[in-house]
Amino acid sequence: MSEADESRLGAGRPVRPVDEDPAVAGPPETVPAETVPSGIGPAGVGPAGVGPAETVPAETGSGEPGKDAPAKKASGLRDTLLYMVGGVVAALLIHTFLLQSFYIPSESMQNTLLINDYVVVNKLAYKLGSVQHGDIVVFKGWDGEDTIKRVIGVGGDHVKCCDDKRRITVNGTPLDEEGKYLYPGVYPSGRDFDVKVPKGRVWLMGDHRNNSADSRFYMDDGHQGTISEDDIIGRAFLRYWPLNRISFLSRPDTFSVVH
C-alpha span between 183 and 233 (Å, rounded) = 25
Residue 40, judged by CB atoms within 10 A of its CB (0-12, 13-18, 19+), counts as exposed
CA 219 – CA 223 distance, rounded (Å): 7
- Of residues 7, 123, 149, 212, which has the active-site annotation? 149
Catalytic-role residue among 72, 73, 101, 108: 108
DSSP code of 141? Answer: -
CB atoms within 10 A of CB 59: 7
Q: What angle do CA 115, 168, 145 make, to 5 degrees?
A: 35
3-class DSSP assignment, residue 190: coil
Is 247 considered catalytic here? Answer: no
108 flagged as catalytic? yes
| DSSP states of 69-89 | HHHHHHHHHHHHHHHHHHHHH
CB-based contacts of 202: which residues, under 8 Å, 6+ apart? Answer: 131, 137, 151, 153, 154, 155, 226, 227, 229, 232
8 Å CB contact between 56 and 47? no
For 117, 139, 155, 216, 225, the CA distances from 222, given in Å and listed in that order, are 33, 18, 16, 13, 8
**What residues are labeled active site?**
108, 149
